[in-house]
């Protein structure tokens, strides 16, 4: 399987996507956050917006975990 999200070179987690599927997921995340901001913040529902973004973030992390390189602490290239 080719990873959509590679592990970061420094630190823990994932970097920017390297496949189109990863870019599509990241674009959908950004689009959904924007739509949620337009809907919730327009109606002065800040706490609902925070919960909405938290839920989207959890979904993004699950997708990164399933389709990304296994995360581990890294401190650069070991050359």
pLDDT tens readout for residues 2-50: 999 998 888 888 888 999 999 999 999 999 999 999 999 998 999 999 9
Q: How far does Cα 48 stand from its chain's mean position?
A: 20
Q: What is the pLDDT of residue 32?
A: 97
Alpha-carbon distance of 4 to 24, in angstroms, equals 10
pLDDT in tens, 54-64: 999 999 999 99
Q: How far does Cα 77 stand from its chain's mean position?
A: 24
Q: What is the pLDDT of residue 64?
A: 93
Nearest to 11 by CA among 66, 79, 62, 72: 72
Q: What is the pLDDT of residue 78?
A: 60
Q: What is the pLDDT of residue 71?
A: 81
Which position has the token pair 């959890």? Answer: 58
Q: Are 10 and 74 in contact (CB under 8 A)?
A: yes
Using the predicted structure, report yes or no on whether residue 79 has a pLDDT greater than 60.
Answer: no
């Amino acid at each position: 399987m080719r990873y959509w999200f590679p592990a970061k070179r420094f630190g823990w987690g994932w970097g920017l996507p390297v496949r189109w599927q990863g870019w599509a997921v990241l674009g959908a995340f950004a689009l959904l956050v924007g739509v949620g901001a337009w809907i919730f913040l327009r109606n002065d529902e800040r706490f609902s917006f925070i919960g909405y973004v938290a839920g989207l973030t959890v979904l993004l992390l699950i997708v990164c975990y399933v389709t990304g390189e296994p995360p581990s602490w890294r401190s650069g290239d070991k050359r």
